[in-house]
Structure 1
Amino acid sequence: MTNGSKKSKNAVDYSVMFPTPPYYFPRRFLLVILGFLGLAFAYLVRVLISTCITDMSEQYGWDSTFKGILLSSFFMGYVATQLLAQFFNERFGGKRTLLVGLTLSIASTLLIPVAAKSKGAVVAIRIFTGLTQGITFPTLNWLISRWFPSSQRSSSAASIWSGVYIGTIFIDFVAPIILDYLSWQATFYIFGGSGLIWSILWLIFIRDHPKDVPIGIHPNEVAFIAYNEEQGSTETSPLLTNNAEDDFFSPNGASFNQENRASAKEEPELPFPVVLKALLTSRGLLALLYYNLVTSWGFYLLLMWYPTYLFSLLGYNKGTLYAFYNAVPYMLSFVIGNGSGLLADKLLAKGVRKIFIRKGFGIVASIVPGIFLFLAAFLKDATPSAKIIFLTIVICCNGFNAGGTQMVTLDLSPRYAGITMGITNTVATIPGILGPLIAGILLEAFNGSWDQIFSMSAAFYISGGIVWVLLAKCDKVI
Structure 2
Amino acid sequence: MEQLSGKPKPTRVRYGMLALVFVNVAINYLDRTNLAVAASSLSTDLELSPAQLGWIFSAFGWAYAALQIPGGLIADRFGPRVLYAFCLITWSLVTVAQGFVRGFASLFALRLATGTFEAPSYPINNRVVTSWFPDSERASAIAMYVSGQFIGLAFLTPVLVTVQYYAGWKGLFITTGLVGLVWGIVWYLFYRDPLEHQGVNQAELDYIEDGGGVFRAKDKTAAKVNIWKWANVKQVFSSRTLWGVYIGQFSVNASLWFFLTWFPTYLVKYRGMDFIKSGYLASVPFLAACAGLLLSGFLSDRFVRRGTSVSVARKTPIIVGLLLSVSIIGANYTNDTTLIIFFMALAFFGSGMALISWVFVSILSPRNLIGLTGGVFNFMGNLASIVVPIVIGYLAKDGNFEPALIFIGTIGFIGACSYIFLVGKIERVVTQGIQEVTID
Q: TM-score, normalised by structure 2?
A: 0.90
- Counting only pairs closer than 5 Å after superposition, residues 17-32 of structure 1 correspond to structure 2 as 20=8, 26-32=12-18
User: 1:111 corresponds to which residue?
Assistant: 97
Distance 1:418 1:424 in 2: 10
- Counting only pairs closer than 5 Å after superposition, residues 69-148 of structure 1 correspond to structure 2 as 69-115=55-101, 117-148=102-133
What do residues 36-69 of structure 1 show as CA deviations (whole Å, max 9, x unaligned)?
1001000000000101110112222221111111
Distance 1:228 1:296 in 2: 30
User: 2:267 corresponds to which residue?
Assistant: 310
Amino acid in the other structure paired with 1:133: E
Distance 2:336 2:104 in 1: 36
In 2 relative to 1, CA 322–86 (structure 1 residues): closer, same or farther, beyond 3 Å?
closer
**CA contact under 8 A between 1:50 and 1:305: conserved in structure 2?**
yes
Q: 1:365 Cα shift?
A: 1.8
User: 2:157 corresponds to which residue?
Assistant: 172
User: 1:476 corresponds to which residue?
Assistant: 428
Confirm whether residue 451 of structure 1 aligns to residue 402 of structure 2: yes
Distance 2:73 2:202 in 1: 31
In 2 relative to 1, CA 240–73 (structure 1 residues): closer, same or farther, beyond 3 Å?
closer
Which of 301, 304, 309 is matched with 1:353 structurally? Answer: 309
User: 2:387 corresponds to which residue?
Assistant: 434
- Counting only pairs closer than 5 Å after superposition, residues 226-245 of structure 1 correspond to structure 2 as 226-229=209-212, 237-238=215-216, 241=219
**CA contact under 8 A between 2:194 and 2:215: conserved in structure 1?**
no
Q: 1:382 Cα shift?
A: 4.3
**CA contact under 8 A between 1:56 and 1:184: conserved in structure 2?**
yes
Q: 1:104 Cα shift?
A: 0.8
Amino acid in the other structure paired with 2:414: S
- Counting only pairs closer than 5 Å after superposition, residues 8-407 of structure 1 correspond to structure 2 as 20=8, 26-115=12-101, 117-207=102-192, 209-213=193-197, 215-229=198-212, 237-238=215-216, 241=219, 266-269=222-225, 271=227, 272-312=229-269, 314-319=271-276, 321-370=277-326, 372-377=327-332, 379=333, 381-403=334-356, 405-407=357-359
Distance 1:268 1:453 in 2: 48
What do residues 330-359 of structure 1 show as CA deviations (whole Å, max 9, x unaligned)?
112222212321221111010011111222
**CA contact under 8 A between 1:226 and 1:240: conserved in structure 2?**
no
What is the RMSD of the two structures over their aligned residues, measured on CA atoms?
A: 2.4
**CA contact under 8 A between 1:229 and 1:237: conserved in structure 2?**
no
What do residues 177-214 of structure 1 show as CA deviations (whole Å, max 9, x unaligned)?
2233332222222221122221111111112x22312x
User: 1:252 corresponds to which residue?
Assistant: none
In 2 relative to 1, CA 278–17 (structure 1 residues): closer, same or farther, beyond 3 Å?
farther
**CA contact under 8 A between 1:298 and 1:457: conserved in structure 2?**
yes
Distance 1:154 1:85 in 2: 22
What do residues 85-109 of structure 1 show as CA deviations (whole Å, max 9, x unaligned)?
2332343222222221222112211
Q: TM-score, normalised by structure 1?
A: 0.83
Amino acid in the other structure paired with 1:121: S
Name whichever of 145-154 and 215-224 sits farther off.
215-224
5+ residue gaps, structure 1, are 1-13, 231-235, 243-264
In 2 relative to 1, CA 451–402 (structure 1 residues): closer, same or farther, beyond 3 Å?
closer
Amino acid in the other structure paired with 1:461: G
Amino-acid identity (%): 22
User: 1:418 corresponds to which residue?
Assistant: 371
**CA contact under 8 A between 1:157 and 1:341: conserved in structure 2?**
yes
**CA contact under 8 A between 2:331 and 2:343: conserved in structure 1?**
yes
Amino acid in the other structure paired with 2:91: S
Amino acid in the other structure paired with 1:392: A
Amino acid in the other structure paired with 2:89: T
Distance 2:382 2:63 in 1: 10
In 2 relative to 1, CA 187–237 (structure 1 residues): closer, same or farther, beyond 3 Å?
closer
Partner of 2:90: helix, strand, or coil?
A: helix
Following superposition, which runs of at least 4 residues in structure 1 exceed 4 angstroms of deviation?
14-21, 239-242
Q: 1:223 Cα shift?
A: 2.4
Q: 1:17 Cα shift?
A: 6.8
Partner of 1:476: helix, strand, or coil?
A: coil
5+ residue gaps, structure 2, are 431-440
